[in-house]
Amino acid sequence: SVRTAIGSIVGPVELFSDDVRSAVVMGIETETLLDTKTDRSWRKRLTNFLGHTGLFLLLIAYTVFGGLVFKALEHPTEVATLKEHDARVKQHRAVFLERVSRSRRASEQEFLRLLEQQLNKYESAVQDAARGGLLVPITEGRQPADLARWNNLQAIFFASTVLTTIGYGNIVPVTTGGRTFCLLYALIGIPLCVSVIADLGSLVANRFTGLPSWLEKVSTTVKSLLSALVALLLLLLYISVGALLFMILEGEWSFFESFYFCFITMTTIGFGDLVPQKPEYMLLCTVYILIGLGMTSTIIEIVRNEYAKSWKRIQALAEALRKLAEAGGSATEIASLQNEFIQRITMTDSNKSPKQWENAVDTIVRNMSKPKLKEPKIVQIIIYETSV
């Protein structure tokens, strides 16, 4: 312990003076306090890390749980529907071939009528099968169960789109049990997802608090604009990296299509016209979307604040100019007051609340509307000296 350590060290120095022994003891106690503070700092960092990571892992676990439940509820019904469509398409295909082969001896007009009739029935069956998810030609010999979209990874990806409210619409629950579970799942999971996104957003926002030393003397407005610009560039970089990743993984997407998908996803627009089709990387896609939503929400908030500040400045300037116009005076005086007001309003702090802005505007207008002291007239006396 500390006392044992102190005793072992103080024992040999008893030959020295009391001041020396006190200095040794104080040095050991100071070192012990520093070690304690270091331990507390590491514990605090570890606690914060576990807090952020734990919340994120909780969302991942909840997403996986929801995906597995969705699969258990929807997969059997989907497989049964696919088998029904498969049998119907094959039946109409066989009838079509049989009727065509029988009508060889019929007249040309009768043959065309029969051909069109059977072809319409077959096309209708194919369209119904396509709407039901049977998109692969029957001749490939794949079983309907292999074409089911409600597999484990697709179901987990669908659960993530429910929690993030993106909702591509490429896959939806059709059973009563699946829809009921979706309502309860979203009711609990969306607030959890919003909390995780806000937590990730706060981590991203903390990265914009520090500025380089050469920007310390820059005005507050310039700092805010630079922060917004850096945030936008970071978002574009993140989307570009994701676009490159999706272009490689999908294989059929161009870089522009991948970038378009990432942007539509990060802004939670979710048209559903482009959706990842490879289930192998759905978990990676889910993590990418969750992190990106945290970044996007924070960056959009930063840009929104800049828009709001600019709009407040414009409103304050317009109101001040209106008051100046109502104050009367010659055009030259009003122009002079306007120039003076613009110079003053741009020097004010951009972090003022709307009420503070209004009070500042009123104060500036009152100060500038006061009658100025008349300057004494200058009389010029010109003396001409001539030789006359």
Residue range 302-316, pLDDT digits in tens: 777 777 777 777 777
Q: What is the pLDDT of residue 313?
A: 72
CA distance 291 to 49: 16
The band of 5, judged by pLDDT with boundaries at 50, 70 and 90, is: very low
- Three-class SS of residue 375? coil
Please determine, for residue 2, whether its predicted confidence score (pLDDT) is greater than 70: no
Higher-confidence residue of 375 and 162: namely 162
Positive/negative CA dihedral, 287, 288, 289, 291: positive
Please say whether the beta carbons of 281 and 269 come within 8 A: no
Pull the structure tokens for residue 61. 């676990």
Please say whether the beta carbons of 232 and 299 come within 8 A: yes
Pull the structure tokens for residue 129. 């099968």
pTM: 0.65
CA 331 to each of CA 317, 324, 328, 374, 383: distance values in angstroms, whole numbers, following the listed order: 18, 11, 9, 18, 36
Please determine, for residue 264, whether its predicted confidence score (pLDDT) is greater than 80: yes
Per residue in 109-152, pLDDT (tens digit) is: 777 777 788 778 878 887 777 777 776 666 566 777 777 889 89
Q: What is the pLDDT of residue 3?
A: 47
Per residue in 7-56, pLDDT (tens digit) is: 554 454 444 455 555 655 565 556 565 556 566 667 776 677 677 788 88
Q: Which amino acid is at 25?
A: V
The band of 180, judged by pLDDT with boundaries at 50, 70 and 90, is: very high
Q: What is the pLDDT of residue 238?
A: 92
Please determine, for residue 300, whether its predicted confidence score (pLDDT) is greater than 90: no
Q: What is the pLDDT of residue 254?
A: 93
Please determine, for residue 351, whether its predicted confidence score (pLDDT) is greater than 80: no
Structure-token match 């003891």, residue found: 25
CA 44 to each of CA 4, 31, 50, 206: distance values in angstroms, whole numbers, following the listed order: 29, 20, 10, 17
Residue 245: other Cβ atoms inside 10 A: 16
Please determine, for residue 74, whether its predicted confidence score (pLDDT) is greater than 90: yes
Please say whether the beta carbons of 75 and 148 come within 8 A: yes
Q: Which amino acid is at 350?
A: S
Q: Which amino acid is at 234?
A: L
Pull the structure tokens for residue 126. 């194919």
End-to-end Cα, the chain, rounded Å: 115
The enclosing H or E element of 293 equals helix 282-327
CA distance 377 to 242: 73
Q: Which amino acid is at 207?
A: R
Q: What is the pLDDT of residue 174?
A: 92
